[in-house]
Structure 1
Amino acid sequence: MALFLVLPVLAFPELFFGHQTLWRSDITLIHYPYHIMVADEWLAGRVPLWNPYQHIGIPLLAEGQVGPLYPLGAIFLSGLSPSLELSLFIVLHLTLAALFTFALARTLGLATAPATLAGLTFGMGGFLMAQIGNLNIMTGAVWLPLVLCGAVLAAQRRSLPLAVLGGVPLALQAFTAQPQIVFYTLLILMGYAAFRAVADRHLRPALFVGVLIVAGLLLSAPQLLPTVELQQHSLRSAERGFNFLTHNSWPPAMALNLLLPSAFGNNVIGFKGGDPFEEDFIYAGFIPLLLVGFAWGQRQRRDVLFFGLLLVGALMLALGRYTPLYQLVIQHLPGFGLFRIPSRWLMAVNLALAVLAGCGLQTLLERGPSRRGLAIVASVLGLLGIGLVAVWLARGPLRMWVDTDWGGLERKLALAFLERGFTIQPVYETERLLMRHLAPLTAPAILLAFNLWVALALLGAYAGRRLSARHFAALALAAVVLDLVVAGGTTVNPIRPDDWWQQLSGGARYVLDHLEGGRVWPLGMGSEAAAVRNLGQFFPSAYRVRSASGHGSPLMLARQDAFLHTAHPVQQVRLLAVRYILTEGRMGADAESTFPPTFADDLSVVYENRDPLPRAYAVHSVVLSADAEEALGHLTDLDIDPRRTVVIEASADTAPPPGVAAGSDDVALVRDEPDEVVVRVRLAADGYLVLLDSWYPGWEASVDGAPTPIYRAYSIARAVHVPAGEHTVRFAYRPLSFRLGVALAALAVVAIIAACSLW
């Protein structure tokens, strides 16, 4: 336990002793700002269901990027700095991954030292280390070994209470993980159930695994049902096909990382692969990889065979388009077409390697290395050493040959390895607290040479009986610790001073000071630095400022995307209730003539819409449209004036006609919370109240307490019919998907309590 607690800190010492922060990719674009908003919502006494600060409103819980219902998210309520909370959240999950894998290995019958090796190999392994930037991928993968531990126990003991309790880790995974990770976990569980049915020649163990799956899905229904609902309304609903399914398949050349971590670079020194580094990297440690070959000695343990099959199956699935499997079979199976990036199957590859490495160490400790086994290992290590020396000696001619005769991704990868594989990068010598003392080992070839020497020395001493089994295990674990700390942590994850989060541009500060009740539209904020400086991505949520843009996720509402691709640019600014446009550079003369600049500095320019629409206003003219396409067709030019006319999707039979305006109207927001908006309206004649917030299922409206339908306005917003006179209109977000999910989860909790009482 102490080892698993300390090691993540050793891998990331700068976060706790150097005032640094992790920042790359989704950590900046999503997790840092979004966790601030979610924590604020909980502290305000609200369940974080809706985010009004992105894309004129998005379903926060349904999107699930930061796991609003995830219990371990309580770290973000601590009152510490958000940067430190984020660091603690990350290292806690690395510790849990190691502990859960240790528990799985012990459940499989491994002794303490082999189980510790398994925990290190997964908890500190390359998959989790690389996926820190995709935090909800990493935190979801952490729960996989505990889910499997529950499945193994339920099948072994054929215990209903254990099966029901085993659903708890699956539910916790669903509360934090990207749905793809949950889907993969369910497939692995179904594979394990099928394996046990065949191995036991009986369906009963498989049925207990099925109970675990059902319990987990019921417990996680408050998250899963809203997420499924969002899938139907997001861009993801339209993304299908073979190219989507196999996007970011794992290139076979990336297997070299299993021997030479960061062989082609990483996110600190630059990565030359075709895909993002975090999607392609896996490293299990050299000695664990070597020990996998000895796992055959534990074949009498029935479940060891399953992890061997899991290794092969997950590896084939990770390869994606590089094998015919997806073309012939996978693309036709239900569920797979919802997700891209097959390389995320490396999660299961890393876990299988960890368990099999533990089994291999168990074999060596029980039986010692056989002469034949030792000879094979020595031969393999010798060949690796000779090959490494040969490449080093011939790297000049090899570089010329590759540069001249190779092409495509293979050329890029080979040149990257020849350039960086034998080089100590200055960043590790000057900007890392621990790695500066181990900088030579950060060169992939030097680390492999060191690992070869250590492995030969340990195995030779153990075979020659100069080391006892206990001392061999201790030294092997120490070598693995060093190997994984050097290959992971801040070696592959870039860091910056933690005051980076507060570096707002002058334009962003101007907007925050002057925006009042309107919206800002940050444009071109795709990079991490731009997002931090200029309220890009999810940063409006952290500052609680309403934005017309946000993170370009596949879960973006499809109607919003269609509106942005169809409506006239001026209509977009009007109907998104934009007051300020925030950019990093100047726009064209036409744009500036319509929206003049009001502030500029070296990092930002602010343009002002001097006559913005309010978020809530009344109209007495309506254009009826049959569907979204027809509604958007009215917005391709400026013929429709939204101050006077609303375009709604309804028929004359369902939408009451407005009255003729006989005087002035008065509309005022009296309550404005993320999940509730209350508007006081005084109309001279019947009309429509327009609220320029996203239309989405789950929003309900009432006029003076009486329910009233919400019409889709301009395809993206909301409108309700209001009679003449003074009225109070209330919009409340009460999604049926969440309420039904809570009911199902409550049912599961009752079942768990009942099962435990009978145990």
Structure 2
Amino acid sequence: ILGVCYLAALGWTATIGRWRYYMVASLVMLLGLGLAALQILPTLELAGLSTRSEYGFADFVSYSFPRKQLVQLLFPGIFGGLSGYGVPSYFGLWNLTELAGYVGLLPLMLAGVGFAVTRRKAISIFWLCAGLLAFLLALGDQTPLAHLVYRLPVVGKFRVPARHFIEMAFAVSVLAGIGAQAIIRQMVTRALLLRTIAVAAGVMLAGLFYIVSKHAAEYAFVGGVVRFNGLPWANATVAIPLIIFLATALTLLYWHRNPAHFPRQILLMLVLALDMASFGWFYSWQEYAPSKNILRPPAFAVDYQISLRETNQRVIPVRGVLGKMSELPPNLSRLWEIPSASIYGPLSLSRMTYLLSMRPDASLDPSWQNSDNQSLNLAAVRYVFLPRPAPLKDAQGILWDAENMDSWLGSGCDHPRGDSIKFNFPTSLQATTIGIVSRLACSPPVPDGEEVVRVVLTDSAGAVQTKSMFAGRDTAEWSYDCPTVTPQMKHRRAPIYSSFDAKMFDDSCTGHYYLATLKLDGITDVSRIELKWVGRSGAMTIEKVSLIDEVAKSSTPINSLMKDNSRWRFVEETAEAQIYENPQAMPRAWLVPEVIALKPDEILKTIKTSRLPDGRAYDPWRTALTEESSPVMAEQPDASASARVTRLDSTEMEVHTASSSPAFLVMSDADYPGWQATVDEAPAQIFRANYALRGVRVPAGRHVVRFRFRPKSFYFGAGITAFSLALLLGFLAFPLLRRKTAKS
């Protein structure tokens, strides 16, 4: 877009005539687009299927440069983040990498000189307007321009307005080059240079006044800095830009006196390097730049690489790109040839993102842990990688898992009934006491002292002991202190673990979690815990559980993944990660006897809840969900039906199937335009199955199903690129042939 505007501005006064200039420029641009069609057309196709196609205005203006941080363009480290300056961590609007717009003080002054000397020339006017427009666009929704640009095709699907600083920096660079050239040609008077320096000094002083004002201190306080001192002698991020400005001004005056003098030119370049390095050299790349070690997977990951190569299943990192190397973050796992269901990028497929409940940073929504959620199963996720937990320690020194389980017992509050919660441990844990954080819900009528939960503990030898939790002693109604609930309470308020702000019928109040500590019969090696609901009414949520050894003065927090050994099975713990196996993960390909057609939102809900719209249980081994009718319903399904992947790469897949009845082949791979299927070399229709995956009807018997990726967008783009390349070569060869003909 910037290039089109540049051509339009300069072509108006072109010496060859504006319309001839525009025609030639248009042909050159079309030729360039044609050469890039090989990339452009597949990218447009992918963009239309990605989460970016659904971006709203809030996404478009995310990471806008805040007006309150304008002074950062002159004092780049004023809001922290430059560790070499000895200043605190960054406390401005997140994040500094996206919001950094420092172009240097010397380039800004040279740009001012350049425009002042050539202000009547079209090129200078254009680059000044381009720089100012880019600056306004970087402010995002803080100017009316954002609403206008958002409505433009293609452009409205981008985000991070602060990246318009790239165009601003380019405009400043061009004007700075014009200014430097003007000084070399001695077109700049000393008076003009002094006026430019004076204006720049005024702007720097205005920035300094803001920094030492109460407004800057208040902004810093909101960012977590209690004592902010903006005085130059107390803050290096203020002093260094002022010193650089002084050095820049003196160097410009010195160079202006004899711009052709080589030592003075060297001095100018050194000041420029110092100016740019005052921010860039001290920024976070020093600490967070990738190490060459990322080219090799962690040693323990090789075992998973081999295992998954045999089963054709996948891993998934719960924290996405925020995870450490041992969590096998997306994109790196691909580099290490470890198949992953996760991906991080601006064009992630929206269907796969919603299926896996994946956030923009590729981290997973907590719903992945729900036992009824089939998403990871359908994506053939065999191993889940989590960060090694950092437990919370309460005032009594007891360790708890940082995340609440929110596991329900009972049947109150219109929540599905829960009868018990079971925890299984791969190795027994020694304890003398069990700690439980919980809350009752919809339970004001529960009498004081009524048993609501029975705790059954099994030791390593199989011996069982039972403890009870009572209303009023060990747990209580969470809304006990809400004004509309307190008069109805029939039990006491149990010891409070923590409180939180809540609302009850639009009235603000305080809710509570309660702590129960149940003594065991001596030291017990606990291998299994079951919490059984025995209350007559109401419901309860179990939030945290910890096994406490008072003899060893230690405690072991229990996390939600230990709840059901059939759902998540602990594998191992590395220095930075915990790995759990998913025994219910589907293979890469499988056969089902039944296909049900539903709407997309119904399919997604069914997958997340394991419940069909008609109330039946959803079993992915038996049923596939499609958005168009595909009548497959075997009257006598073959229980021994099988699908075996015999070949698999990025563009081809071969599956051998065997079934005595018609079946539907489901793949755990994403459905995407360009995939073609054959059954015994006969073309077959591909259905979108299970919201985002691929499926094909397969007749009874033994068959070979092949999938080949032949995207039309790629081949069409390749054809345009080849044609454009031929035209370009023809244009280049024509003058040579003409000259050769003329000579002959």
TM-score by length of 2: 0.65
Measured in 2, the distance between the counterparts of 1:629 and 1:385 equals 56
Displacement after TM superposition at 1:420 (Å): 10
Letter in 2 for 1:222: L
Q: Which amino acid aligns with 2:622?
A: R
CA distance in structure 1 between the partners assigned to 2:267 and 2:377 by the alignment: 68
The CA deviation at 1:267 is 6.5
Query: Residue 163 of structure 1 aligns with which residue?
Result: none
Q: Which of these residues, 341, 348, 355, is aligned with residue 556 of structure 1? A: 348
Asked if the contact 1:518/1:579 (under 8 Å) is kept, the reply is no
Deviation at 1:501, TM superposition (A): 2.6
Q: Distance in 2 between matches of 1:578 and 1:659?
A: 31
> Which residue pairs with 1:335 in the alignment?
154
Residues 370 and 514 of structure 1: CA distance in aligned 2, closer, same or farther (over 3 Å): same
Query: 1:669 and 2:642 equivalent?
Result: no
2:76 match: secondary structure: coil
For 1:385 and 1:617, locate their aligned partners in 2 and report how far apart those are by CA, in whole Å. 68
How far apart are the structure 2 equivalents of 1:527 and 1:419?
35
- What is the one-letter code of the residue matched to 2:727? A
Checking the alignment, whether the CA contact within 8 Å between 1:265 and 1:271 is kept in structure 2 is yes
Matched, 1:194 2:8: yes
Question: 1:536 — aligned with what?
Answer: 329
| Native 8 Å contact 2:315 2:384 kept in 1 | yes
Residues 657-709 of structure 1 deviation map (CA, whole Å, 9 limit, x = unaligned)? 55633573342211111111111222222222222111111111111111111
**Distance in 1 of aligned mates of 2:205 and 2:604:** 67
* CA distance, structure 2, for counterparts of residue 456 and residue 650 of structure 1: 71
Change (3 A) 1:510 1:632: same
- 1:644 partnered with 2:622: yes
Q: Which residue of 2 aligns with 1:240?
A: 56
Q: Kindly state the Cα deviation for residue 737 of structure 1 after the two structures are TM-superposed.
A: 0.9
Offset at residue 730 of structure 1 (A): 0.5
1:351 paired to 2:170:
yes
> What is the deviation of 1:727?
1.8
Is the contact between residue 593 and residue 622 of structure 2 (CA under 8 Å) also seen in structure 1? yes
CA contact (8 A) 2:610 2:619 kept: no
Q: Is the 8 A contact 1:196 1:205 kept in 2?
A: no
Question: Is the alpha carbon distance of 1:574 and 1:453 closer, same or farther for their aligned partners in structure 2, counting shifts above 3 Å?
Answer: closer
Greater C-alpha Rg: 2
Counterpart position of 1:716: 692
Higher helix fraction (1 or 2): 1
SS at match of 1:747: helix
Distance in 1 (alpha carbons) for counterparts of 2:296 and 2:228: 36
Q: Aligned partners of 2:80, 2:698: CA distance in 1, in Å?
A: 62
CA distance in 2, matches of 1:590, 1:238: 37
1:437-462 Cα shifts (integer Å, max 9, x gaps): xxxxxx44343233233234334435
1:599 to 536, 561, 572: 572
* Alignment check: 8 A CA contact 1:598 1:607 kept: yes
SS of 1:266's partner is: coil
Q: Distance in 1 between matches of 2:563 and 2:231?
A: 48
Contact 2:230/2:238, CA 8 A, preserved across alignment: no
1:67 aligned partner:
none
1:476 equivalent to 2:268? Answer yes
CA distance in 1, matches of 2:13, 2:648: 60
Moved more, 684-693 or 488-497: 488-497
User: C-alpha displacement at 1:419, in angstroms?
Assistant: 6.1
1:619/1:689 contact within 8 Å kept: yes
Q: Secondary structure at the match of 2:560?
A: coil
Corresponding residue to 2:118 among 298, 302, 323: 298
2:74 partner letter = L
Q: Can you list the C-alpha shifts for 1:551-606, whole angstroms capped at 9, x where unaligned?
A: 2x453222223323599744223212222222224434435563231323453222
Which one-letter code corresponds to 1:648 in the other structure? T
Q: Which has the higher contact order (CA 8 A, sep 6+)?
A: 1
1:309 correspondence with 2:129: yes
In structure 1, C-alpha distance between the alignment counterparts of 2:49 and 2:206, rounded to whole Å: 54
Q: Note closer, same or farther for the CA distance 1:609–1:477 as it changes in structure 2 (3 Å cut).
A: closer
Change in 2 beyond 3 A, CA 1:258/1:575? closer
Give the structure 1 partner of residue 604 of structure 2.
632
Cα distance in 2 for partners of 1:331, 1:251 equals 18
**Preserved CA contact (<8 Å) 2:297 2:336:** no
Kept after mapping to 2: 8 A contact 1:272/1:416: no
How has the CA–CA distance of structure 1 residues 580 and 420 changed in structure 2, closer, same or farther, with 3 Å as cutoff? farther
Superposition RMSD on alpha carbons, in Å? 3.4
Residue correspondences, number: 539
1:648 and 1:486 map into 2 onto residues whose CA distance is: 58
Report the Cα offset of residue 637 of structure 1.
Answer: 1.9
Task: From 68, 75, 78, give the equivalent of 1:260.
Answer: 75
Secondary structure in 2 aligned to 1:272? Answer: coil
Cα distance in structure 1, aligned partners of 2:249 and 2:639? 92
Quote how far apart the aligned CAs of 1:710 are.
0.9
> Residue 419 and residue 615 in structure 1: after superposition, are their counterparts in 2 closer, same or farther (change >3 A)?
farther
TM-score by length of 1: 0.64
Which consecutive unaligned segments of at least 5 residues does structure 2 have? 358-366, 390-558, 612-616, 736-744
Deviations 1:390-422 (A, max 9, x none): 86xx98xx47x4487x35x79649989846976
| Greater mean deviation of Cα atoms: 633-642 or 567-576 | 567-576
The one-letter code sitting in structure 1 at the alignment partner of 2:10 is R
For residue 262 of structure 1, report the CA deviation from its aligned partner.
Answer: 2.5
Aligned-partner Cα distance in 1 for 2:26–2:164:
22
**Residue deviations 1:117-159 (CA, integer Å, cap 9, x gap):** xxxxxxxxxxxxxxxxxxxxxxxxxxxxxxxxxxxxxxxxxxx
Correspondence 1:505-524 to 2 at 5 A: 508=301, 511-512=304-305, 514-515=307-308, 516-524=310-318
**Cα 1:337–1:420 shift into 2, 3 Å:** farther
> What SS class does the counterpart of residue 312 from structure 1 fall into?
helix
Give the structure with the higher percent strand: 2
* Aligned residue type for 1:212: V
Q: 594, 607, 611: which one pairs with 1:621?
A: 594
Letter of the 1:227 counterpart:
T
- 8 Å CA contact 1:507–1:600 kept in 2: the answer is no
Among candidates 69, 94, 98, match of residue 275 of structure 1: 94
Q: Does 1:325 align with 2:150?
A: no
Instruction: Measure how far apart 1:384 and its partner are.
Output: 6.6
Change (3 A) 1:725 1:233: same
Indicate whether 1:579 and 2:382 are aligned. Answer: yes
Aligned to 1:230: 46
334 and 646 in structure 1: CA distance in 2 versus 1, 3 angstrom threshold: closer
The question of 1:289 aligning with 2:125 is answered no
8 A contact 1:619–1:644 mirrored in 2: yes
Question: Do 2:594 and 2:632's aligned partners in 1 also have CA atoms closer than 8 Å?
Answer: no
Amino acid at match of 2:653: V
Is 2:319 the partner of 1:525? Answer: yes
Q: Give distance in 2, aligned partners of 1:543 and 1:412.
A: 39
Distance of 2:223 and 2:582 partners within structure 1: 47
| Secondary structure, aligned partner of 2:94 | coil
Task: State the partner residue of 2:287.
Answer: 495
Deviation of 1:735 (Å): 0.9
**Distance verdict in 2 for CA 1:478–1:370, change over 3 Å:** same
Deviation at 1:360, TM superposition (A): 0.9
**TM-aligned CA distance change 1:383 to 1:719, over 3 Å:** closer
Alpha-carbon distance in structure 2 between the residues aligned to 1:546 and 1:219: 33
What displacement does 1:746 show?
A: 0.8
Contact 2:36/2:721 (<8 A) preserved: yes
SS, match of residue 700 in structure 1: strand
Shift, 1:492, TM fit: 4.6
